[in-house]
Amino acid sequence: MAKKFKTFEGFWILKSFWHTLTHSMPKDYDPFKPLKNKAPVPKSHFYKIETGKGKKFNENKQTLKICTWNIFYGKYKNEIIKEIKTNKELKDVDVFLFQEVPRKKTNLAKEIAKNLGYYYSYGVMSVKINQKTGKRIDDLGNAIVSKYPIIASKILRLKNVKARWDFDPYDNQFGNRMALISKISTPLGKANFVNVHMDTHVFQKKRKQQAEDLMKQLSDMKLVIKSVIAGDFNTFQYKEKKVRKVMQHDGYKNVFDTHFKKTYSFQIPMHTDHIYVRGFNHINQKVLKNVKCSDHYPITVEIN
């Protein structure tokens, strides 16, 4: 038991029980069943992808720079766009994989792509609602923004897992997790980029099931060898070996190897975001802790 409570799960379980005791609970609430999203993804958006074309870049590069970044609902969108255009570590990124991208009157992914002259693809993960009125505020999803042409894109819906350790019945973002996959024509050849956002507040075993479901769907698609899988895996416990082993089984390597990196700005160190590569070498992997306009830090890597 002592060993268990050295983990982040132990801390969050205690925190969640405290939340349960101090909030009124719906009579039909069962923490061991998948929650019903109060504002589920509309059927018209379930597999529909928004795309946009960019300008042509005539380059013969030997490396590609990749960045994955959970942008915190785009709350600081002006700062995010400024960082991308001026930060020396971000302004030369070739492919961005963004999570928690809002789309209301405008699509933040579209705005970023337009500012850079890049291509983009966007898929809806869930919808954000006003907790007081229950009205829909905006869509929330994953986006891939690329300097190079996006040939095709597809949404992969991930398995809804049972048994979570955050006993919060008001979390309307639980479930409906997804991965957005885009095939991109790069100077290094055609490659697949998979942008994933897994469930939060679930046990390692359950997150492993979600990872296995993702890899099964990707395997059925028979992807080209050159592939990148990146995003917010919501891995709270250091390396979270169960997920890592699932990825390694299909030939993917974590760019940080087995080293722990703090990628989330919470007081307790958490390595939630990852980049996995297959068919590429990787160099110069970094966590950009100087970028403060989200609760997650962007992470970058160069591949060749």
Lowest-pLDDT range of 34-43, 66-75, 154-163, 273-282? 34-43
Q: Using the predicted structure, report yes or no on whether residue 262 has a pLDDT greater than 50.
A: yes
Compute the radius of gyration of the chain from its Cα atoms: 19
Lowest-pLDDT range of 6-10, 178-182, 221-225, 278-282? 6-10
Convert the pLDDT of each residue in 126-142 to its tens digit. 887 776 777 778 899 99
Burial zone of 184 (CB within 10 Å; 0-12 exposed, 13-18 middle, 19+ buried): buried
Domain-wise residue ranges, the chain: 4-303
Q: Which helix (H) or strand (E) holds 103?
A: strand 95-103
Q: The domain 4-303 is classified under which CATH number: 3.40.50.720, 3.60.10.10, 2.60.40.10, 3.90.1150.10? A: 3.60.10.10
Q: Between 278 and 10, name the one with better pLDDT.
A: 278
Rounded Cα–Cα distance for residues 239 and 245 (Å): 10
Residue 139: how many CA atoms within 13 Å on its side-chain side? 23
pTM of the model: 0.89
Convert the pLDDT of each residue in 58-100 to its tens digit. 888 999 999 999 999 999 999 999 999 999 999 999 999 999 9
Convert the pLDDT of each residue in 170-199 to its tens digit. 555 556 799 999 999 999 999 999 999 998
Mean per-residue pLDDT of the chain: 86
